[in-house]
Amino acid sequence: MTSRDGFTWTPSDGLKPGVPSLGVISPSSNISSTQVEYDVIVIGAGYCGLTAARNAALDGLKVLLLEGRDRIGGRSWSSNIGGYPFEMGGTWVHWGQSNSWREITRYRMEKDVEMSFDFAKGVKHFELNTPESSVTMTHDDEDILLDSALKKFTNIDGFYGRKTIPLPYTTFHQPSSIPLDSLSALDRINEIADTLSPQERAVLEASILLASGGTLETTSFHEFMHWWAMCGYTYQGWLDMLITWKFRDGQSTFARRFFDEALATKRLSYAFNTPVQHISTSPSAVEITSRSNTTYRALRAICTIPLNVLSDIKFTPPLPTGKQAAIAIGHVNQTVKVHAEVSNKDLRSWTGINYPNELHYAIGDGTTPAGNTHIVCFGGQNRHMDPEVDVDRTKRAVSSLFNPGNYAGQNVQIERLVFHNWSKDEFAKGAWFFAPPGLLSEHLDDMRGRHGNVVFANSDWALGWRSFIDGAIEEGTRAELEVREEVVGLRGVKQKL
């Protein structure tokens, strides 16, 4: 099935909207009547919504899942083109991310996870291209450089953050860590600028922007340190947990397990291509109205809509002022992610940074059935582009990652581009969550707070792996448990009456 999301480009076909995905659901709805009162309506079929809907259905609740897209997965989904998966959003998993790994073992998918990197043969080097210089080095030297830069950036207490953030799940209840949220990444860089070499500063800034998808000024130093703490306060943990292990056949194979298990209970109703426009909560129930003016009713609702999209929904009564303030601020991540299939097979062992650039960080991430190298490239808000608007510019941004002097006489022809424009996606308005300074210390509790009979759950305000698949599963689990306890209690009251 082909989703309306995403784009592909090839020399022969040009730019085409829509890409095939295992996450597309057909038929798009299994609802036979809109007069049903559900136990819970789950809004959004990303990993958070899928977890909540599956758990609720398994627990015996009558569930309705509403989704504006034609597919599951939200900001984490894959496209399979020519027998090869391209990850359009969230990609990497790790056993240190306990919620997601629990689900991987639940579905017996441990053997479906493989390593992104393969440095066994080919060029086996890292390129660092800046306006001042172009340097090629071994991957060991790349690691030494990044390790040094990140240690200088994160060593705020002589223990690389371990003393200041000893338990990252409760960070805003620790007075020592709260002041970090008033600082931007640029503020911290300015504090240590005299200790950084030009190469260290270039790879550090590129790495920060790879994480945040914002600018140095709009990146919360605290949120970066939260990621660092979750990764075990080390560069090796950062590398292992954030960008090393992925599903061999793509994220959508994982998401399907959640959806299919929920569907098998025969307690899951669903409607895709059904954007929500109004959520009304009363003392006894919730009414959800779609853009087509269809109304659905339930005892409770779990809203998994991302922070940057909540302003598009009308709430009755209006949301609390703290939640409205958080929504008005929003998160900063406008990452551009572009997959390039290139003809040089030796680039499988290549990594590179070209900073600053529209695409500033990239790695060789696989070999396609045609024998070409798959390069996954990232850019950010500092030099934002819409890749589908000017494909030639996108191709130049990919090509500029490679210093031509390193590939004299070798072909680095771009055979295919695959991407999804998250900034223009009306159901995301950005990529994974990353906070600006002050947002979380002021409004994390507001973001997590419920509104009447509506429980809000999303990786954007998870306590642990915030903004990751793991955080989405964490939040979906929390929300379903809260709703299940209430619905079971209401059922008991009704039975007694």
Tell the burial category of 240 from Cβ atoms under 10 Å away from its Cβ (0-12, 13-18, 19+).
Answer: middle
The answer to whether the beta carbons of residues 56 and 483 sit under 8 Å apart is yes
Measured on CA atoms in the order 25, 27, 29, 31, is the torsion positive or negative?
Answer: negative
Smallest CA-to-CA distance from 339 within 119, 123, 89, 120 is with 89
Tell the burial category of 220 from Cβ atoms under 10 Å away from its Cβ (0-12, 13-18, 19+).
Answer: buried
Q: Tell me how far apart the alpha carbons of residues 11 and 417 are, in angstroms, rounded to a whole number.
A: 10
Q: Tell me how far apart the alpha carbons of residues 164 and 176 are, in angstroms, rounded to a whole number.
A: 6
Q: What residue has token string 């043969």? A: 121
Output phi, psi for 316, to 5 deg: -125, 120
Read off the amino acid at residue 428: A
Tell the burial category of 416 from Cβ atoms under 10 Å away from its Cβ (0-12, 13-18, 19+).
Answer: buried
The answer to whether the beta carbons of residues 464 and 230 sit under 8 Å apart is yes
Q: Tell me how far apart the alpha carbons of residues 472 and 428 are, in angstroms, rounded to a whole number.
A: 14
Q: Tell me how far apart the alpha carbons of residues 142 and 131 are, in angstroms, rounded to a whole number.
A: 19
Is 19 annotated to bind a ligand? Reply is no
In sequence order, which ranges of 177-269 are alpha helices (DSSP H)? 185-192, 198-212, 221-230, 235-243, 251-264
Is 378 annotated to bind a ligand? Reply is yes
- The torsion angle over the Cα atoms of residues 362, 365, 367 and 372, rounded to 10 degrees, is -10
What does the DSSP 8-state code read for residue 96?
T
Tell the burial category of 481 from Cβ atoms under 10 Å away from its Cβ (0-12, 13-18, 19+).
Answer: middle
List CB contacts of 405: < 8 A, sequence separation 6 or more: 134
Q: What residue has token string 């979750």? A: 230
* Residue stretches of the annotated binding site for FAD: 276
* Residue stretches of the annotated binding site for substrate: 378
* Residue stretches of the annotated binding site: 276, 378
